[in-house]
Structure formats: C-alpha cells, structure tokens
Amino acid sequence: MQAKIPLRRKLHLGFRHMLYSLRHTRLSTVIILILLTAVALVSLLPIVYVICNAFKPLEELFVYPPQFFVRNPTMQNFTDFMYATDVSTVPFSRYLFNSVTVTLTTTALTIVFSLCCAYAFSKLRFPGQRALFDLITIALMFSPEAVVITRYLIVNELHIIDTFWAHILPHLALPMGVFLIKQFMDQVPDSLCEAAKIDGANEIRILWSIITPAVLPAVGAVLIIAFQNVWGDITTSNLYTVSESMKALPYFINSLTSGLTASSVARKGATAAAGLLMLLPNFIIFAVLQKSMIETMVTSGIK
Amino acid sequence: MQKPERLPRGAKARETWKQMKESWIAYVLIAPFMICFCIFIVGPVLSATVLSFTSYDSIQPPVFTGLDNFTKMLTKDVVLMKYVIPNTLLFAVVVGPVGYALQFGLAWMINKAPKKLKKPYIMAIYAPSIAGGVLISVVWQVFFSSDRLGYLNDILLNLGFINTPVAWTQDKNWLLPIMMMVTLWSSMGVGFLSLFAGMQNVDEQLYEAGKIDGIQSPLLELFYITIPSMKPQMLFSAVMAIVNALKSGSIGVQLSGQNPTPNYAGQLIQSHIEDYGFARFDLGYATSLSFMLLVVTYILSRVCFRFLGTKEGE
C-alpha cells in the first residue's frame, strides 16, 4: 500500500512542480495562458452568477450592495418558481412537459432525417445530387429570423398553429444536421458499403448497421445542435402558439422576467433557478459529447 | 422528390429518367428532410420574394404594387435610413468580422496552450453560446439594471465613476455597445469549435517542413501553413459568423424590453421587420425588407466563398 502523503507536503510538492513548470515554459505561452484565463473567466462569470443567484435566499438577493457569491445556499427559489402560478394560468409542469416532449421528438427526428438524407448524398449517386447539396450548403446560413414573417404565414397556412406540429416541424428543417453528418460520412470508405452490398445487404441495412456506427460522433454533434436549437427556442411559443398550455419552458422563464427590475427581487431568485434548470441539460449534453463535437468539426469544412 | 413534368424527349433526358428510376431509394431517403426543407426554408424565401412586390395586410389578399416597397424603403422610411441601416452596419461589422477575428485568435491561443488545459478552456469559452438566449433575460437585464441594485451601476457607483445610476439599456448611447458586447460574448459557438478543430488537425509534418524551409516566427507559420490548411473550416465558421449576426438581430428588443427600442438606438433590421410585420401589419413592406436582407446575406456569403473557398486543383 502506498504511504499517505500529508496534505502540507502535497501542497508543497504541487507548488514546487508549478514553479518548475512555469520556469520551463516559454514566455509566450505564459502570456497566452493569462489571456485565455481572463477570457474564460469573463465567459463564465454570468453563468456562475446564475448559479449563485439560483441558490440565494431572499435576504441575500435584497442586500445592498449586491453580493456576487451565495453565502447560505437554499433550494427555496426552485420551489418558488414551480409554484409561481400567478404569472400564468397553467402549472409549471405543463411547460416542462411541452418542452421535454417537443425537444425529444424533434431531436430524434432530426437525427433520423439527417442520417437518411446524408447517406443518400454521401454514398449514393442520383441525378440532381450536386445541385441539391449545394442548395443545402447555401441554406446553412439561412436563419429563420430573416424571414420570420413568411415563415409565420406558412405555418398559418398549414393550419398547425397551436399544435405540437408547429413546435416540431419547422425545426426539422436543419440544414446543418445533414451537412455535418454528410461531411463526416464522406470519410467512411465506400468499400465498406460495397462489401456489404455484395453480401446482399440493402441500403437501409447498410445505413443502419455499417454507416451509422461509423458516424456516431457526427450524430452526437447534431444531437447537441438540434437539442439546443429546440430546447431554448422561444419564437415558436411566441408566434406559433396561442393557448398558454401549448407554450414551452423558455416562454415561461421569459414571462417570469418580463418587466423585471433588479429591485423586484421576489422573482429574481426564481428566475435564476428556472434559468439554471434550463441550462443544465445543455451543459450536461455538451460535456458528455464534447469529444464527438470536436471530431465532427474537423470535417465540418466547406470545400 | 423530383420528377420531370413531361415525358423526356431526347436521349439524354431519357437516360436521366432511367437513372432517377434506378436510384429511387436515394429520393426516398432524402424525402423527409427535403420536404421540411422546402416547406420551411425554400418556401419562406420564395414567398418573401413574391410578397415583397405587393401590398399585403394579412386580411385582404396581396395586391401587386411593383417596386413601391423598394421606393418607400429608399425615400420614405426615415427611421430605416437614419437609424436602422447605420446601426445594423455597425453591429454587423463588430459581430461579424471582429467576432470572427476574436474566434480565430482564441482558437489559435487554445491550440498553443498545454494539452491538459485545452478542454477546460474550450468548455469555458463555448459555454456562453450554449447559454445564450436564456441568460439574456436572466443575467444581462439584472447586470445592466437601471437602479443601484444593478451590478454595473453598483460597481461604478462604488468606484466613484458615476454619481447616479444609469439606465444602461434605455440609454441611446449605451444600448448598441451593450448589444454588441452581449452578442460577442455568446458568439463563440459552432464556428469557434470548427476553427479550433481545423487548427488541431493541421498536419504536424507541415510545420516541421516549414521549419526546415526557414519559417521561424509563429506569425509566418500562421499565414503560410495554418491558414491555408484550414480554409474549409474557416469558410464554415465565416458562414456561422454571418448566421450569428443575423440571429442576434432582435437582441436590442430583448435587452430594452421594447420595440421600437428607445430612440431607435438599438433598432436593427430584424426588429424593424418585426415592427412592420407584427405591429403595423404592413406585411408587404416587411417582407421587402426581409428580401433585401436575404440578398445582402447571399452576397456576403459569396464573398466568403470567394476568399475562403477551395479552388479547383487545390
């Protein structure tokens, strides 16, 4: 068994090690590290702030001058916003249910649609292929925000206003999904598919049991992007739904903050708690899939 | 799915038709996505193009008015000329090229950092883009809040820079800079990751070969080896920068809580479109603005493709 090193000794060793490595790094690296750390801190500050505020008890939210860090953490804010029924007529759980249902469905469908479409573009040959893929590449820079009005008119014409379809269908048109998976798939050697074809596998089978396992990183990246796209989306709730019971979580959080000033503290904690709840899934998914994301981005280039 | 309307006449058309029939499975596979794509992306773009030549109030059917909307844009819309266009240009330049340079710089620095630290830095810098929308309402409104409990006011009051609290997001001098800052903060997204990944992936041997050929300074290395090797990723990320600038168009409205923004200080083209479309129901004019925005975006993208696109034989 290893002998236990006392903490002081450990710290001392750690410090010595740090000094040693500092002395042996180039000055430029040190400057880079200082700059990066500064940027990283600025980036994270607002997020730390939300986390702190979410756990602050009422009196700490009120205190002047305002405090950044939380001293006596409490869960009060989380229970508060869940029962904050006075801002809306439907309970919190309904927004949560809508958001979860819509997000899961949309993300799953996006992945399936993108996989099928990317497979056709990457491994099959058909007339119109080149033109259609160029169209998708151009559409990468399409942001729904640019044509918000005609998009609304189309959703209206389809008579899906105030239904789950309005939440799901517009999000499925995600050119990025097809693009990223297709670019990644291009690296998978065609010989794999041909070998399977000789063995008598049909296209669906090749896609499912040979290609999909090979492009899992790209699927992970698309999962992140599709998830974020839907989970945090407020436009759908604002424009495509009418009744309160069809709206999603971001809308609820926004209604908590609307008209909020720092002095109306009653809601400040609840808002932060709700915001944190909103952010958590995003962070967890990204942390888990970070590697796939970077791997996919290597092939993301437009040639 | 694509099917020719009439029977193919020439041999070439017949050949294409035969190929199409043979590869029916490909069309089936792309169908689900392409249908959504056509309805929700191609559809809105086409109808914006058509409606921009009409007068339409969403109740009466649209009436064709030729170039009236565009004349109005150039001659009658004072707000557009005086506030919206200058604001949008400034915002676009800062969030677009400056943001892009920032992303590139950060990606480059992370690439130079020791291996163990890369992951935490990436996480920290990417995080705001995940948080983006939610945090605008939760954090920034409180941070820039108009009374003493706002963070910025508190800090500046304590340091003695100001004597009375400033209503940051209602102030016409401050709204636009704040919008740009918040957008930049949350813009290190997919494009940034792509740049980083592209840099990581540059062949080490190229650097070694460069050293032998006498490339000494890191700056030369950057221009002669790194950038040429990662052009595709740079193009992708440039496209993402354009998208990001477009997406954040209504951030002024989100921050100040009103449309039009106070004194039109944070009025960007997006908010202007929404103002005309959803508040004044002048859909014809609103879509003509959308149409112009699309045209400008398209031109910008062509410029990016021109500079960063991989040419034949490269």
Q: How much is the ipTM here?
A: 0.88
Of A169, A207, A275, the CB nearest to B40: A169
pLDDT at B313: 54
Question: How far apart, in Å, are the Cα atoms of B214 and each of A82, A153, A184, B112?
Answer: 65, 61, 35, 20
pLDDT at A262: 44
Q: Which residues from B are below 8 Å from A135, CB to CB?
A: 42
A146/B43 CB distance under 8 A: no
Radius of gyration of chain A (CA): 25
Q: Is the pLDDT of residue A203 over 90?
A: no
Q: What is the dihedral of CA A134, A136, A137, A143, to 10 degrees?
A: 140
Other CB atoms within 10 A of residue A1 CB: 3
Between A216-231 and A92-123, two packed helices, what is the crossing angle to 10 degrees? 140
Query: Would an 8 Å CB–CB cutoff place B117 in contact with chain A?
Result: yes
The mean per-residue pLDDT over the stretch B91-120 comes to: 91
Residue A75 lies in a domain: no
Query: Would an 8 Å CB–CB cutoff place B144 in contact with chain A?
Result: no
Query: Would an 8 Å CB–CB cutoff place B286 in contact with chain A?
Result: yes
The mean per-residue pLDDT over the stretch A40-50 comes to: 88
Q: What pLDDT band is residue B33 in, cutting at 50, 70 and 90?
A: very high
Q: Is the pLDDT of residue A1 over 60?
A: no
Query: Would an 8 Å CB–CB cutoff place A300 in contact with chain B?
Result: yes
Of B117, B131, B310, the CB nearest to A303: B310
Q: Which residues from A are below 8 Å from B230, CB to CB?
A: 301
pLDDT at A71: 83
**Picking from A91-100, A113-122, A213-222, which range would have the lowest pLDDT averaged per residue?**
A91-100
The mean per-residue pLDDT over the stretch A254-262 comes to: 62
Note whether A35 and A102 are same-domain residues. Answer: no
Interface test mutation site (partner B, options A148, A155, A157, max chain B beta carbons within 10 A): A148
Q: What pLDDT band is residue A86 in, cutting at 50, 70 and 90?
A: low
Query: Would an 8 Å CB–CB cutoff place A283 in contact with chain B?
Result: yes
CB A37 within 8 A of CB A244: no
Interface test mutation site (partner A, options B24, B40, B275, B291, max chain A beta carbons within 10 A): B40
Per-residue model confidence as pLDDT tens digits over B12-22: 888 888 888 88
**Picking from A179-193, A260-274, B148-162, which range would have the lowest pLDDT averaged per residue?**
A260-274
| Closest chain A C-alpha to B96 CA, distance in angstroms | 13
Q: Is B263 left (phi over 0), alpha (psi -120 to 50) or beta?
A: left
Note whether A88 and A218 are same-domain residues. Answer: yes
pLDDT at A79: 81
The mean per-residue pLDDT over the stretch B74-101 comes to: 91
Which domain CATH number covers A120? Answer: 1.10.3720.10
Number of domains in chain A: 2
Residue A65 lies in a domain: no
Note whether A94 and A200 are same-domain residues. Answer: yes
**Helices and strands in chain A, H and E counts:** 16, 0
Q: Which residues from B are below 8 Å from A251, CB to CB?
A: none
Of B37, B158, B188, the CB nearest to A175: B37
Query: Would an 8 Å CB–CB cutoff place A287 in contact with chain B?
Result: yes
Q: Is the pLDDT of residue A2 over 70?
A: no
Q: Is the pLDDT of residue A184 over 70?
A: yes
Note whether A9 and A92 are same-domain residues. Answer: no
Nearest CA among A132, A197, A126 for reference residue B24: A126
pLDDT at A156: 92
| Closest chain B C-alpha to A6 CA, distance in angstroms | 26
| Percent share of chain A, pLDDT over 70 | 90
- What distance in Å separates the CA atoms of residue A122 and residue A207, rounded to the nearest whole number? 11
Note whether A292 and A143 are same-domain residues. Answer: yes
Per-residue model confidence as pLDDT tens digits over A143-155: 888 888 899 999 9
pLDDT at A259: 54
Higher-confidence residue: A234 or B28?
B28
Q: What pLDDT band is residue B132 in, cutting at 50, 70 and 90?
A: low
The mean per-residue pLDDT over the stretch B69-83 comes to: 90
Residue A108 lies in a domain: yes
pLDDT at A285: 92
CB B231 within 8 A of CB B308: yes
Per-residue model confidence as pLDDT tens digits over B203-227: 889 988 988 888 888 888 888 899 9
**Picking from A104-113, B101-110, B160-169, B300-309, which range would have the lowest pLDDT averaged per residue?**
B160-169
Q: Is the pLDDT of residue A116 over 90?
A: yes
Q: Which residues from A are below 8 Å from B227, CB to CB?
A: none
Note whether A37 and A134 are same-domain residues. Answer: no
DSSP conformation class of A219: H
The mean per-residue pLDDT over the stretch B52-75 comes to: 90
Nearest CA among B226, B194, B188, B189 for reference residue B207: B226
**Picking from A129-133, A252-256, B37-41, B145-149, which range would have the lowest pLDDT averaged per residue?**
B145-149
- What distance in Å separates the CA atoms of residue B85 and residue B45, rounded to the nearest whole number? 22
Task: Report B:204-233 residues touching A (Cβ under 8 A).
Answer: 218, 230-233
Residue A59 lies in a domain: no
The mean per-residue pLDDT over the stretch A182-188 comes to: 94
Task: Report A:72-111 residues touching B (Cβ under 8 A).
Answer: none
Note whether A8 and A120 are same-domain residues. Answer: no
Query: Would an 8 Å CB–CB cutoff place A28 in contact with chain B?
Result: yes
Task: Show the domain range for A4.
Answer: 1-43
CB B283 within 8 A of CB B57: yes
Chain A's closest residue to B48, CA to CA, is A150
Query: Would an 8 Å CB–CB cutoff place B202 in contact with chain A?
Result: no
The mean per-residue pLDDT over the stretch B128-142 comes to: 76
Domains of chain B (ranges; CATH) run 11-64 (no CATH), 74-308 (1.10.3720.10)
Residue A133 lies in a domain: yes
pLDDT at A263: 44
The mean per-residue pLDDT over the stretch B226-236 comes to: 92
Question: What does residue A214 show for φ and ψ, rounded to 5 degrees?
Answer: -80, -25
A116/B293 CB distance under 8 A: no
Q: Which residues from B are below 8 Å from A140, CB to CB?
A: 236, 239, 243
B117/A127 CB distance under 8 A: no
Note whether A39 and A133 are same-domain residues. Answer: no
Residue A54 lies in a domain: no
Query: Would an 8 Å CB–CB cutoff place A267 in contact with chain B?
Result: no
Establish whether the linkage from the previous residue to B8 is cis, with ω within 30° of 0.
no
Query: Would an 8 Å CB–CB cutoff place B29 in contact with chain A?
Result: yes
Q: Is the pLDDT of residue A47 over 60?
A: yes
Mean pLDDT computed over every residue of chain A: 86
Query: Would an 8 Å CB–CB cutoff place B270 in contact with chain A?
Result: yes
Residue A66 lies in a domain: no
Q: Which residues from A are below 8 Å from B312, CB to CB?
A: none
| Percent share of chain A, pLDDT over 90 | 43
Note whether A33 and A120 are same-domain residues. Answer: no
Note whether A134 and A34 are same-domain residues. Answer: no
Q: Is the pLDDT of residue A269 over 90?
A: no
Of B2, B141, B286, the CB nearest to A149: B286
**Helices and strands in chain B, H and E counts:** 19, 2
Note whether A153 and A244 are same-domain residues. Answer: yes
Which token pair is A181?
């998976």
Note whether A2 and A125 are same-domain residues. Answer: no
Interface test mutation site (partner A, options B49, B139, B142, B186, max chain A beta carbons within 10 A): B142
B19/A127 CB distance under 8 A: yes
pLDDT at A226: 94
The mean per-residue pLDDT over the stretch B253-274 comes to: 86
Other CB atoms within 10 A of residue A262 CB: 22
Residue A293 lies in a domain: yes
Higher-confidence residue: A85 or B171?
B171
Q: Which residues from A are below 8 Å from B310, CB to CB?
A: 303
Q: Which residues from A are below 8 Å from B228, CB to CB?
A: none
